[in-house]
Structure 1
Amino acid sequence: MKRSLICLMVTVLLVSALTGCWNRRELNEVAIAMGMSIDAAPHNQYRVAVQVVVPSQVSSKTRTGEMAQVTTYEATHNSVLECIRQMSTVSPRKIYFSHLRILIIGEKLAKQGVAGALELLSRDQEFRNDFYVALGKGHPAENFLKVLTPLVHIPAEKLFDSLDNSSKVWAPTVGVPLSDFLYQIIDKGRQPVLTTLEIKGNGDIDMTSENVKNIDTPTVLEYTGLSIFNKEKLIGYMDQVESKGYNYITGNVRNAVGSVPCEDEGHWVIEVLRAKTNIESMLQHGKPAFSVYIAVEANVAELKCKLDLSDPEVISKMEGMVEEHARKTLLESIRKAKELKADVFGFGQVLHRQHPKVWKPIASEWDQHFTEVDIAVNFDVTLRRTGTVNRSFMSEM
């Protein structure tokens, strides 16, 4: 009897400690945010836009052909949270951010500094920090959430999928989650980067459904390279060639393609299967220097030269052509970073790990020292496969 009473008391105590789903939210009570943009507004204010899903249009049973699958709310205020709360005056539901896919930072805000705008997103428990961040160039940030695109009719989902896919198969882009971007801002020895997003097309921006009713979409959203930051402020851009060099040096290339010019005319294309990067720091006359070694395995994808791929000497010669061409690309990327005085590659981090005593006295002025260091680049290519034919049919024409 005594044991039963003790068990009953323990059970009551445990049950009383259970709070249940005290903060649950029903789907019909929230507006699910998929995309968000933050830009600068006059008088030191923020301009925030949030793209939310229209549930009736996402469902195949209730969808009509007239309405878009998303709608966008916008507000201007002194803080990001005030902007979000102000949207309650027009949104019939509370906006829910746990499914956010993409954050677009406006060019104007980025030049002023993004730290204050991102503080809420790093602090609030509703933001998961695993969504991608990109920089919108050439237009107000909210415009990038208003362009309807074919195939994927939710613009934020399209932007996430395009960046996620291209970062795996196209070397000039890189997917940067919010958590990584914030870490790069506060980290010493490496400056942050974001992939640049632009609106491409003829004429004015098409923000209506007419944009997806044609085979040739008038307006498209396209990732075009990298945006370079000095801590929290935008300081410049890298084009696609320079951005490709950045990703090779930082070890972000998983699969890519590249075009190599022939000696006479035409070109040939390789498909990179895997790439491995190693960076070493050393001291030359008491000053830091670096050696970058990149090993690449690739296949021959296209051949528009008069080359016989059955000849081992030709293959060796082609590997040397790739190495020389890639080396120029990497050096061009390093040159641009030095011009901007921004060590986006993390050479400072390498020096910190391998020579901490050398790093400590120059850490606070590393970006200036970075412009003066010698960086040797070694690119080693191995061509694995040449396809099903040794000669291109074009050589017989």
Structure 2
Amino acid sequence: MKRALICFPVLFIFVAILSGCWDVKDINKRYLPVVMGISKGQNDNYRIILQVPDIKGGTQFLEGESKSISKAVEIIRTKAEKEVDLMHVRLFLISQELAQQGIKNIVDFAMRSNDISIKSMVAIVSGDFEKTLFHEIKRTPEVSSYDYFSEEAGWTPDVSINRLWEAYRSVYSYTEDFAVPLVQAGERTLFEFQGSAIMSRDRMVGTLSANETLINNIFQERYMDGTIELSSDASILIKKATIRNKARWRSSGPNLQSRIHLVISILENKNEKTNAEIALEIKGLLEKRAHVISDKLRSLKADILGNGQAFRPIMNDQQLKNWKETWFPQLNHQITVTVNVRDNQDYKEEMK
């Protein structure tokens, strides 16, 4: 009797542990999409297209359409002969038409879904949405669509980068907006980058060119070896970028001084300009571009540079809520750039 009483709890523990595996599904019985495309369908429906890579290097497409995103996904699951698992979705591609109307519902759906990673990338498709989503180049199983936006793969600082959790934060932020990569179908590659979409809260209100996107990434301190052409015979590589902001609230309104410090390396210098000449040229070029971008953003009431973040400690609640509509367009933004030129050898030695 005592032996039975001892064995019974042990048996119960093993049963409890093993019962946790009852709902495991074989990977061969699941679809694992890596890209979710979202556009407008008929009668203002959401049209969902899922890109599912196969073992042969190709792509399978699953489609659904409904008034809500969750219902469209459920329709896809109903039609599919395998379980559709969204845990591997790494990129959301949203049509420009939908982005101009607002992406709040898309971001809310993705953040509330238990099986979608909040680290997924977000991009906007300009031009023909279907051509971009169904576009395929030669079969390359080692390359995925989201590699173009990954800092560990093909990303460069001429392209903005925005993750799902960052988009969600900015949609609900009083003082910060965001930039999203703007792409279309490429000829020899999956995508061609058109610059960045400027988002004000959840709506696309304008665009940045590739050169302007680089400036935005410098403000976000996401430079990652960006290359800038000064002229047809000279170009430089940004090795390091830091920015310091000093915010003051004067009687005339908000005033912000942004000081950008760059460490650069010279890649091409065919006319053999001095380091001082190149530093002066890059200083003038970047200050001019930065002021043009700042003026454009204030006219669009889209604070993608995050200028309002510097004023949060000195604003009251009402000023905070009215930042984008009232105070940001009145912002006096002064931008200065200092440049330190180092050759590659000196820079490598310092890093060691």
Q: Give the TM-score, by structure 2 length.
A: 0.89
Alpha-carbon distance change, 73 to 169 in structure 1, aligned in 2, over 3 angstroms: closer
Letter aligned with residue 321 of structure 2: S
Give me the whole-angstrom Cα distance separating, in 1, the residues matched to 2:77 and 2:154.
38
Match of 1:73 among 62, 77, 80: 62
- CA shift, 1:73, in A, is 1.6
| 1:160 corresponds to | 146
| 2:278 corresponds to | 318
Instruction: After TM superposition, list the pairs within 5 Å mapping 1:69-218 onto structure 2.
Output: 69-88=58-77, 90-140=79-129, 142-150=130-138, 152=140, 157-165=143-151, 170-201=156-187, 217=188
Alpha-carbon distance change, 86 to 168 in structure 1, aligned in 2, over 3 angstroms: closer
Give me the whole-angstrom Cα distance separating, in 2, the residues matched to 1:221 and 1:39.
17
> Where does structure 1 lack aligned partners over 5 or more consecutive residues?
59-68, 202-216, 308-313, 389-397
SS of alignment partner, residue 304 of structure 2: coil
Alpha-carbon distance change, 299 to 132 in structure 1, aligned in 2, over 3 angstroms: same
Match of 2:293 among 307, 326, 333: 333
| 2:324 corresponds to | 367
Give me the whole-angstrom Cα distance separating, in 2, the residues matched to 1:11 and 1:295.
65
| 1:251 corresponds to | 221
Letter aligned with residue 32 of structure 2: I
Give me the whole-angstrom Cα distance separating, in 2, the residues matched to 1:105 and 1:182.
15
Q: CA RMSD in A?
A: 2.6
Give me the whole-angstrom Cα distance separating, in 1, the residues matched to 2:135 and 2:176.
34
- CA shift, 1:220, in A, is 4.8
SS of alignment partner, residue 161 of structure 2: coil
> Does structure 1 residue 226 correspond to structure 2 residue 229?
no
Give me the whole-angstrom Cα distance separating, in 2, the residues matched to 1:165 and 1:304.
31
Alpha-carbon displacement from aligned partner over 1:102-122 (angstroms, at most 9, x marks no partner): 110111111222122333321
Give me the whole-angstrom Cα distance separating, in 2, the residues matched to 1:257 and 1:151.
30
Give me the whole-angstrom Cα distance separating, in 2, the residues matched to 1:167 and 1:330.
28
| 2:46 corresponds to | 46
Percent identity for Structure 1 against Structure 2: 17
> Does structure 1 residue 239 correspond to structure 2 residue 209?
yes
> Where does structure 2 lack aligned partners over 5 or more consecutive residues?
347-352
Alpha-carbon distance change, 168 to 361 in structure 1, aligned in 2, over 3 angstroms: farther
| 2:349 corresponds to | none
| 1:34 corresponds to | 34
SS of alignment partner, residue 352 of structure 1: helix
Q: From the CA coordinates, give the structure whose radius of gyration is larger.
A: 1
| 1:65 corresponds to | none
Alpha-carbon distance change, 270 to 150 in structure 1, aligned in 2, over 3 angstroms: farther
| 1:282 corresponds to | 248
Letter aligned with residue 242 of structure 2: K
Give me the whole-angstrom Cα distance separating, in 1, the residues matched to 2:281 and 2:155.
22
Contact 1:167 1:173 in 2 (8 A): no
4+ aligned runs moved over 4 Å, structure 1: 4-10, 165-169
Q: Give the TM-score, by structure 1 length.
A: 0.79
SS of alignment partner, residue 43 of structure 1: helix
Give me the whole-angstrom Cα distance separating, in 2, the residues matched to 1:329 and 1:152.
38
| 2:261 corresponds to | 295
Alpha-carbon distance change, 185 to 301 in structure 1, aligned in 2, over 3 angstroms: same
Letter aligned with residue 336 of structure 1: K
Give me the whole-angstrom Cα distance separating, in 1, the residues matched to 2:135 and 2:33.
16
SS of alignment partner, residue 318 of structure 1: helix
Give me the whole-angstrom Cα distance separating, in 2, the residues matched to 1:131 and 1:83.
20
Alpha-carbon displacement from aligned partner over 1:151-203 (angstroms, at most 9, x marks no partner): 7358xx532112225998632212212111111111220012211112244xx
Alpha-carbon distance change, 302 to 6 in structure 1, aligned in 2, over 3 angstroms: farther
